Amino acid sequence: MSHIFKQEWLGELVEITKAAGEAIMQVYGSEQMDVQAKADDSPVTAADLASHKVIVEALARLTPEIPVMSEEAADIPWETRKQWQQYWLIDPLDGTKEFIKRNGEFTVNIAFIDKGRALAGVVYAPVLDKCYYGALHLGAWLASADGVTDLNQLAVVAPSVPRVVGSRSHVSPGLAAYLETLGEHEMTSIGSSLKFCLLAEGKADIYPRLGLTSEWDTAAAQAVLESVGGKVVNADKGQVLDYNQKEAILNPYFIATAKHWCDK
């Protein structure tokens, strides 16, 4: 059965990410943090698993007929996945390294994928009390302590010198060469999918990712950024970053740009 993303789901997803954020913060506030290494040597904590449990159980209640793929339950055979037209793609705790450092730059990510496109997404940063959410046919918003901001209503003028955002914990060799071709720029490092969110909020212009990421790292924030007119494209081919189109779950290198920079 074909599913089109329903507007009422967006509010439900915001509540689900906040519930997952509460589960994460219980671990974040504890004195000791038990960190394990996964098969690929990436770290995983009790917070990742607690958030995963909250989200998966909530999505099963919301849309029991739509499959779910999570970073913490990613061993789904390609023969099964390639049949999916729609599914939920989640990263229960994006920025585990930032979580372990306790710098607050981590997020809960939930995306709705439709025929390979990141159609809708929610990105919640519990410590920062910021929730970015949007869908391609609805728009995008930021909910924070200051209230709700319609990201499509922000008047942003492109600066003369591009403001570039990059990873705090994953610096790639190719980034230096890209920045050299870019010329004069301002550089800011920040963890997790918050890099996309700075573009969506008009606080940055370009996010070049010339290093490895997985599909769950990018989908939710890509949906938010594209819902305000930004772009996320393959660095080589210039095609929109897509999902579940191949067996490997690694993304190609990509360039994300804010709407005001695309419009220059």
Annotated binding residues for Mg(2+): 71, 91, 93-94, 217
Contact 163, 204 (CB under 8 A): yes
CA 224-225-230 angle, 5° bins: 150
Say which DSSP state 240 is in: B
Say which DSSP state 250 is in: B
Distance CA 151, CA 200 (A): 7
Dihedral over alpha carbons 262, 194, 223, 172 (to 10 degrees): 70
Q: Residue 199: what are its φ and ψ, rounded to 5°?
A: -65, -45
Q: Which helix (H) or strand (E) holds 127?
A: none
Dihedral over alpha carbons 29, 201, 182, 238 (to 10 degrees): 100
Tokens read off for 209? 């990712």
Q: Annotated binding site, which residues?
A: 71, 91, 93-96, 217
CA 219-204-237 angle, 5° bins: 50
* Residue 208, strand partner residues: 255
Q: Residue 180: what are its φ and ψ, rounded to 5°?
A: -65, -40
Close Cβ partners of 258 (under 8 Å, ≥ 6 residues apart): 156, 199, 200, 202, 204, 205, 206, 225, 230
Q: Annotated binding site for substrate, which residues?
A: 71, 93-96, 217
